[in-house]
Amino acid sequence: MRCSQKKFLKRIFRHALREVQPTALYRKYLHLFDNTLYYRNTPIPLRGDGRLVLAGSGKASRNMASAILPYLPSKPDLSLLIAPDSGRSRSFESCRGNHPLPGAESLKSGRRMLSLLSGLKENDTLVYLLSGGSSAMMELPEAGLTMSDLQDANRVFMQKGLDIHEINILRSRLSRLKGGKLTSLCKAQTFVFVLSDVVGNDLSTIGSGPFYPPPSPSVHPRELIKKWDLATTLSPQLIHALSQDAPLPPVETEIPHYLIGSNMDLLEAADAFLSQKHFPVRSFPESLCGEARDAGAMIAEMIRKDRGARPAFLLFGGETTVRLNNKPGKGGRSQECALSVLTKLQDIGNYCLLCAGSDGVDGNSVAAGAFADRQVFLCAKKRDLSAEAFLSVHDSYAFHRQCRSLLTTGPSATNVGDIAIAFLY
């Protein structure tokens, strides 16, 4: 891989990441005028005669909380943030939740959040900060189920490759905190600020919609059980819980949600960076979806067939899935997407591709993503590594590690889905 191309792609990615940090996004979407907070042109009545409470859950919750303090009418009286780590802060109470599967710490965090929210009064004001990862980090099983049940269910959902909308239909039946169920448990005047990692920004899907009931009618879990043959892999108690005709949670008041960042912001930031340098850019929002290897095949086909001016850039955004086998290796969506591209463009030069997750953590690895180009292919050939073989067992991390094509940034404290940047020259 030519170092200069790799470095330039990393510059684009890092610039785009800075523009989707909560501080930058709040400047874009929020403003104060005459002591009133506005979301674009909509006033948000945060002032009340009760307590001001700041809570949140997800990969970006702590960063979102720090950034929103200047927009609040006063210092929060109470706070609770659930994040991937239990970092200390003088400003907030916080606790850790497990990810990508819920665990013992997720259960403790879920209980703490439920205790906080159920104790609020009608004259209190709750500002809730929601970002991707919340579904696993904050959990409380429905009656009759255990955390082990939820872990088994989530593991099966991911292995079989259910999309995020299907997963959340099922998760909501198994959890006391998902599918809008916090709406009826919390009496406080509530405002939810959302950082979306979901294609289409469906508010009932982001973080499993703790304050946003799923739309009705929807696909019944029984249809998903049949579609994905879940009865052969899930326990009888899980199948029983999923099969019930559970009513939607009662909603007396619709909770306002404010989208303060999404994958589109990430693509726009990358596009603006390149446009300022007068590079031709073609952007394809929400094009990364479905299986990661299929998304990679799509990108490879577009690179192969592109006949535009050079140099130029193609931008792809969204979030894919990976249907795992019983004993998958290490890696994630972005590394697998890059590996898939490599299998399709073995005879093609004059391109360099970066695939990465905006949260800085791709799947079960420490990498944010990976690169693909002719040099990576030649390195693999020299080392007698088969990209197809590694792809078939979902061991993309091992392949990219040996080819030195990993992109490692560390956790980014934001989460707006994935991006792929193709440099054509």
Q: In the Cβ-directed half-sphere of 389, how many Cα atoms lie within 13 Å?
A: 7
Q: Give mean pLDDT, residues 363-388.
A: 96
Quote the pLDDT of residue 347. Answer: 81
Predicted local confidence at residue 313, as pLDDT: 98
Do 226 and 164 share a domain, yes or no? yes
- Domain span including residue 334: 3-12+263-424
Confidence tier at 165 by pLDDT (50, 70, 90): confident
Sign of CA dihedral 116, 256, 162, 264: negative
Same domain, 232 and 375: no
pLDDT tens for each residue of 308-322: 999 999 999 999 999
Tens digit of pLDDT for each residue in 11-66?
999 999 999 999 999 999 999 998 899 999 999 999 879 999 999 999 999 999 99
Query: Are 314 and 207 within one domain?
Result: no
pLDDT of residue 247: 62
Q: How far apart are CA 55 and CA 76, in angstroms?
A: 10
- For the chain, the domain total comes to 2
- In this structure, the answer to whether residues 147 and 244 fall within a common structural domain is yes
Under 8 Å between Cβ of 134 and 171: no
Specify whether 241 is located in the same domain as 343. Answer: no
What's the order of all strands across the beta sheet hosting 42-44?
A: 30-33, 36-39, 42-44
Predicted TM-score (pTM) of the model is 0.94
Q: What is the pLDDT of residue 374?
A: 95
For residues 96 and 143, what is the distance between their CA atoms, to the nearest angstrom?
23
Q: How far apart are CA 90 and CA 122, in angstroms?
A: 27
Q: Which of these three, 261, 282, 302, is where a domain ends?
A: 261
Same domain assignment for residues 81 and 171: yes
Domain check: are 248 and 273 in the same one? no
Residues near 299 by beta carbon (within 8 Å), at least 6 away in sequence? 314, 316, 337, 341, 353, 420, 422
> 244, 261, 278: which is the final residue of a domain?
261
State whether 254 and 287 are in the same domain.
no
Q: What mean pLDDT is predicted for residues 289-310?
A: 96
What is the mean predicted confidence (pLDDT) over 140-160? Answer: 94
Predicted confidence (pLDDT) per residue in 216-269, tens digit: 656 889 999 999 999 999 999 999 999 987 665 555 678 999 999 999 999 999
Whether residues 30 and 114 fall in one domain: yes
Q: Taking residues 68-93, what's their average pLDDT?
A: 90
Assign residue 102 the CATH number of its domain: 3.40.50.10180
Strand order in the sheet with 78-83: 94-96, 78-83, 52-57, 125-131, 189-195, 257-261
Rounded CA-CA distance 391/256 in Å is 43
- Do 307 and 406 fall within a single domain? yes
Q: What is the CATH number of the domain that holds 267?
A: 3.40.1480.10
pLDDT for position 85:
84
Contacts 24+ apart (CB under 8 A), 232-237: 233/156, 233/160, 234/152, 234/153, 234/156, 235/149, 235/152, 237/144, 237/145, 237/149
Per cent of the chain over pLDDT 70 is 96
Here the tokens at position 62 are 């702590």
| C-alpha radius of gyration, the chain, whole number | 22
Between CA 291 and CA 391 the distance in angstroms is 12
Structure tokens at 223: 């249809």
Q: Is-contact 306 314, C-beta < 8 A?
A: yes
**Could you say which of 226, 261, 296 is where a domain stops?**
261
> 46 and 145 share a domain?
yes
Binning pLDDT at 50, 70 and 90, where does residue 5 land? very high
In this structure, the answer to whether residues 213 and 283 fall within a common structural domain is no
Q: How many residues does the chain have?
A: 425
